[in-house]
Structure 1
Amino acid sequence: MAHKPSLVLYQPEIPPNTGNVARLTAGAGVDLHLVEPLGFSLEDKYLKRAGLDYWPRVRLTVWPDWLTMEKHVQDEGGRFVFSTSHSGVNYCDFPFEKNDFVVLGPETRGLPPELYADRPTVRIPVTDAVRSLNMSTAAGILLYEALRVSSSLPYP
């Protein structure tokens, strides 16, 4: 079981966003999980550039599909928390736990509703001026709130 919340990117599409999230997870000392298919190669220069020289510090697991990852997380006693702009609890009011796997969907289409139906979901409120936040921005907001609430901040 994880001792800190983790981030999961389900079928990410945009290399720089994933690179930014990789850097974020390295800085926070948490695991990053990528669920295939990916919209890019892990050797992509834009992915590497966004992650800069932090890649050796990224605790990365790439899963071949959702079901394989889901089984692993369930076997380890983890809990999925899904981020969607369509429904869910305001992220500020959600009781994050140390064994949470915060899941964000692909940038152009978001998570498929069947993935998060009847499961914990959170949302980040935004004005009507935009449909949603950039995935890597949302990842940062949700990860640090999960770390704060679960008392898992990476620094004293």
Structure 2
Amino acid sequence: MNINIVLFQPEIPHNTGAIGRTCVLTNCTLHLIKPLGFEINEKAVRRAGLDYWKHVKIEEHDSYEDLRAKYPESNFYFCTTKGKKDYTQVQYEKGDFLVFGRESSGLPDYIRENNKDNCIRVPMVETTTRSLNLSNTANIIVYEALRQLGFPGMK
């Protein structure tokens, strides 16, 4: 396992599917914090055509607190448009966790406030419109982490 990608209460199945595919192709683990805004049972996965889903290393967690309790010694980085540090200013290590919030509202205030020093962002032009798509943002950051690690196990 290279990096852990955490989706906090994801709402859009297509984003989760795209991030799952990235996990398969980069040897990363996908962590989903409930509740999910969709079903990921076998019927739903088959209907969505996610033929690679069986290869995704996936863990589901009942809450953010459960995830942190399971991995108390791990490094966590919180990906948010409200982060003060660019994602390139982090020295990533194998096994780090990249946490992404809901598509509609991002990470809850309590998570950001309790982890200010580990909140990172992808630079964008200032706008009153939307931010980058969740799956695009996850790919940008995970590939930077993997680049720093020398793309372990990848060719």
- State whether TM-score is above 0.5: yes
Q: Judging changes above 3 Å, is the alpha-carbon distance between structure 1 residues 32 and 4 closer, same or farther for their aligned structure 2 residues? A: same
Residue equivalent to 1:62 = 60
- Number of paired residues? 151
Matched, 1:41 2:45: no
Amino acid at match of 2:11: E
Q: Name the structure 2 match of 1:134.
A: 133
Give structure 2 stretches of 5+ with no counterpart.
none
Query: How far does the alpha carbon of each residue in 1:71-110 deviate from its partner, in whole angstroms, 9 at most, with x for none?
Result: 0111xx2111000001231112221111310000000000
Could you tell me which of 92, 102, 105 is aligned with 2:101?
A: 105
Runs of 4+ that moved beyond 4 A: none
CA–CA separation in structure 2 for the residues paired with 1:153 and 1:126: 29
> Gaps spanning 5+ residues in structure 1: where?
none
1:5 Cα deviation (Å)? Answer: 1.5
Equivalent residues of 1:19, 1:47 under 8 A apart: no
The CA deviation string for residues 4-37 of structure 1, in whole angstroms up to 9 with x for no partner, is 2110000000011101111110111110000001
Q: Percent identity?
A: 34
Aligned match for 2:84, one of 68, 82, 88? 88
- Kindly indicate whether the alpha-carbon contact (under 8 Å) linking 1:15 and 1:46 is maintained by their aligned counterparts in 2: no
**2:48 partner SS:** helix
Question: Does structure 2 retain, via aligned residues, the 8 Å contact 1:10–1:103?
Answer: yes
Q: CA RMSD in A?
A: 1.9
What letter matches 2:144 in structure 1? E
